[in-house]
Structure 1
Amino acid sequence: MFLLIGSLATADLLAGLGLILNFFFHYLIHSETINLITVGFLVGSFSASVSSLLAITIDRYLSLYNALTYYSERTVAYIHSMLAVAWGVSLCLGLLPILGWNCLKDTSTCSIVKPLTRSNLTLLSISFFLIFIIMLHFYIQICRIVCRHAQQIALQQHFFATSSYVTTKKSVSTLAIIVGTFGTSWLPFAIYCLVADHSDPPVYTYATLLPATYNSMINPIIYAFKNQQIQKATWVLFCGCFQSNTSFHSRSPSDV
């Protein structure tokens, strides 16, 4: 769980750094080569962020579907494999423009994100839609498992039907916020990449890309600060102390 959150935090941190570097070199130092490197850096970091979100989704599903065997060495191996694949693919996507898949020699093939070609940006957009569909599928499965668990707990402990309804509604609402935030952040830019042309005003590109950058700012609130162990560590980090009378309980990965 913390490995995946660390991966997401690292990717979002690199994305923020890439945005600063891209702005600096694009508007203050006009160099096509350096601009190409910073754009490749941005592609790789944002790809790693989205891939980490997918890995967290899969981890949540595994923690509920295989609750008895989740805390095993086999699960740790799965997590390491997912991280290796996620960062490996992200690194390859970031290197593609630098290795030659760009429009520096033929400006007619440029996309709305120069110097990326239209085919390169189309590949990235289609990859995003595929990841979004996979995440949506897993969260639907998680909702079904949560609803089934809530009903079983209500029957075993003789709860009222309203108690099960409230628990299920809260869980589904949390998942809806996660999927909704991710979708509204990235879908406008992904759709615009498929339908727009490089001759369109750049302001449209920035307007659709802005919500995607906000997603990296929202991710810590959604995936990290809800965890009580991270709250405790943050309190110690910034306050230098910790209230011993405050109760912090370890939570499962599905709650993060």
Structure 2
Amino acid sequence: TSTPLPPPPPHLRAGSLSAGAAPSSSIAWRCKAMPLLVNPWDIVLCSSGTLIACENALVVLVIWQNPALRAPMFLLIGSLALADLLAGLGLVLHFTCAYLLHSDSAQLLTVGLVVASFSASVFSLLAITIDRYLSLYYALTYNSERTAVFTYTMLVLLWGLSLCLGLLPVTGVNCLAEEATCSVVRPLTKNNIAVLSVSFLLLFGLMLQLYVQICKIVMRHAQQIALQHHFLAATPHYVTTRKGVSTLAIILGTFAACWMPFTVYSLIADYTYPPLYTYATLVPATYNSVINPVIYAFRNQEIQKALWLVCCGCIPASVAQRARTPSDV
């Protein structure tokens, strides 16, 4: 008689965030009989989550403790940082639950947290884009009370919608009971991931359109100032304006480079695809939450001052005297 094989490790059981190809993984387990106890890709995701949580926690702390950072722009940056902070914590908790608790309920809760957090992060990016467009298009009335009300409304809507998306796996909209309905990310169904992916593409298209309009406004303002002061193309104002437009291109390019591979892959693939492809596209998507604080928070002059005060109790003269330029858009 042959000795029965031990059960597969936790990361190959139902409920794992990355077990999109559980059947093939189980076969590999039985053939080798000596698998890795911890998936290296899960360690990468957990490490990314730790970095994301620490980085964005600093931004949330600075904005929370500084009463001067209460303008609509900073509230939206704080919303983005909070969403990324929760996303990082969700990745860490999912790793912990997958390898220590072995509970489907805990898995569903952590997956719901990750979905809600990353959704709030993307929605916050859209809200920041809308805010920047309005601040340029309605420059004279931007600082009115109406802007604050509109900002709070956007925050309520984006977090409410994100919470609804995150609750889907917990409320039973998952594929634990029927393997064939699974997407590349268990326990999300193919319909779930399709809705999320299509929503991302629509949001990206809207952000692209808004940034094109922002570029037009910035260039138009630059031309008007150039005509008034008889500036030449090589003047500092032209250089800073061009830098501002380049910054917008970096923002969109980074966002697309991080999220587009996973979005497209999740639309065309299903649970039978090798999990390696899921990891290879999902890990870069998490890096967007690592880059967000650098683009939206740490480059901001007011947040830089607050960070210097928190870290060393002083503000360098180079930071205190730096003038705001179109590159800060």
State the TM-score bracket (shorter-chain normalisation). Answer: over 0.9
Quote the residue 1:98 is aligned against. 170
Unaligned runs of 5+ in 1: none
Q: Deviations over 1:90-122 (max 9, x none)?
A: 000000111111011111101111011000000
Quote the residue 2:121 is aligned against. 49
1:77 has 2:160 as partner = no
Q: Distance in 2 between matches of 1:165 and 1:237?
A: 35
Deviates more, 1:177-186 or 1:156-165: 156-165
Quick check: 2:240–2:327 contact (8 Å CA) kept in 1? Answer: no
Quick check: 1:229–1:249 contact (8 Å CA) kept in 2? Answer: no
Q: 2:199 aligns with which of 108, 127, 130?
A: 127
Q: 1:237 aligns with which of 290, 303, 310?
A: 310
Q: Distance in 2 between matches of 1:59 and 1:157?
A: 29
Quote the residue 1:166 is aligned against. 239
TM-score (normalised: structure 1): 0.95
Quote the residue 1:39 is aligned against. 111
1:191 has 2:264 as partner = yes
User: What pairs up with 1:147-166 in 2 under 5 angstroms?
Assistant: 147-163=219-235, 165-166=238-239
Quick check: 2:305–2:320 contact (8 Å CA) kept in 1? Answer: no
Quick check: 1:64–1:254 contact (8 Å CA) kept in 2? Answer: no
Q: Distance in 2 between matches of 1:67 and 1:246?
A: 25
Q: Distance in 2 between matches of 1:51 and 1:157?
A: 40
Quick check: 1:48–1:87 contact (8 Å CA) kept in 2? Answer: yes
Indicate how the Cα distance of structure 1 residues 250 and 92 shifts in structure 2: closer, same or farther if over 3 A, else same. farther
Q: Deviations over 1:38-97 (max 9, x none)?
A: 101100000000000000000000000000000000000110111111001000000011
Quote the residue 1:207 is aligned against. 280
Supply the AA of the counterpart residue of 2:124.
Answer: S
Quick check: 1:15–1:46 contact (8 Å CA) kept in 2? Answer: yes
Indicate how the Cα distance of structure 1 residues 230 and 138 shifts in structure 2: closer, same or farther if over 3 A, else same. same
Quote the residue 2:19 is aligned against. none
Indicate how the Cα distance of structure 1 residues 162 and 84 shifts in structure 2: closer, same or farther if over 3 A, else same. same
Quick check: 2:93–2:110 contact (8 Å CA) kept in 1? Answer: yes
Q: Distance in 2 between matches of 1:242 and 1:222?
A: 20
Q: Distance in 1 between matches of 2:174 and 2:186?
A: 8
Q: Distance in 1 between matches of 2:328 and 2:155?
A: 20
Quick check: 2:244–2:328 contact (8 Å CA) kept in 1? Answer: no
Kindly, what percent of the aligned residue pairs are identical?
64
Supply the AA of the counterpart residue of 1:236.
Answer: L
TM-score (normalised: structure 2): 0.74
Q: Distance in 2 between matches of 1:169 and 1:154?
A: 13
Supply the AA of the counterpart residue of 1:142.
Answer: I
1:136 has 2:136 as partner = no
Indicate how the Cα distance of structure 1 residues 92 and 251 shifts in structure 2: closer, same or farther if over 3 A, else same. farther
Q: Distance in 2 between matches of 1:85 and 1:155?
A: 42
Deviates more, 1:161-170 or 1:242-251: 242-251
Q: Distance in 2 between matches of 1:76 and 1:250?
A: 25
Residue 211 (structure 1) shift: 0.9
Quote the residue 2:190 is aligned against. 118
Supply the AA of the counterpart residue of 2:311.
Answer: F
Quote the residue 2:301 is aligned against. 228
Quote the residue 2:94 is aligned against. 22
Structure showing greater radius of gyration is: 2
Q: What secondary structure, in the 3-state scheme, does the structure 2 residue paired with 1:28 have?
A: helix
Q: Deviations over 1:171-219 (max 9, x none)?
A: 2211100000000000000001001110111111111011111110100
Q: Distance in 2 between matches of 1:47 and 1:252?
A: 31
- Aligned positions, number: 256
Q: Deviations over 1:142-182 (max 9, x none)?
A: 01001101100100111113336534421221110000000
Quick check: 2:305–2:319 contact (8 Å CA) kept in 1? Answer: no
Q: Distance in 2 between matches of 1:246 and 1:187?
A: 35
| Cα RMSD for the two superposed structures | 1.8
Supply the AA of the counterpart residue of 2:233.
Answer: A
Indicate how the Cα distance of structure 1 residues 170 and 245 shifts in structure 2: closer, same or farther if over 3 A, else same. closer
Quick check: 2:116–2:165 contact (8 Å CA) kept in 1? Answer: yes
